[in-house]
Amino acid sequence: SIQIYGYEGRGSVAGSLSSLESATTDSDLDYDYLQNWGPR
């Protein structure tokens, strides 16, 4: 659900589901980007 939340912020809920179903690599990339934006 965390990944979906992050995607929501970007404004692409459907994209999050697609990415998650597509492959974990995409999600990993997005998660990394989110982590960088989080602590900042």
Token reading at 13: 């809920």
Q: What is the pLDDT of residues 1-40, one digit of tens each?
A: 455 555 555 555 555 555 555 555 555 556 666 666 655 5
Please calculate the CA angle 38-30-6 and round it to the nearest 5 degrees. Answer: 55
Q: What is the pLDDT of residue 16?
A: 54
Phi, psi of 36 (to 5 degrees): -65, -40
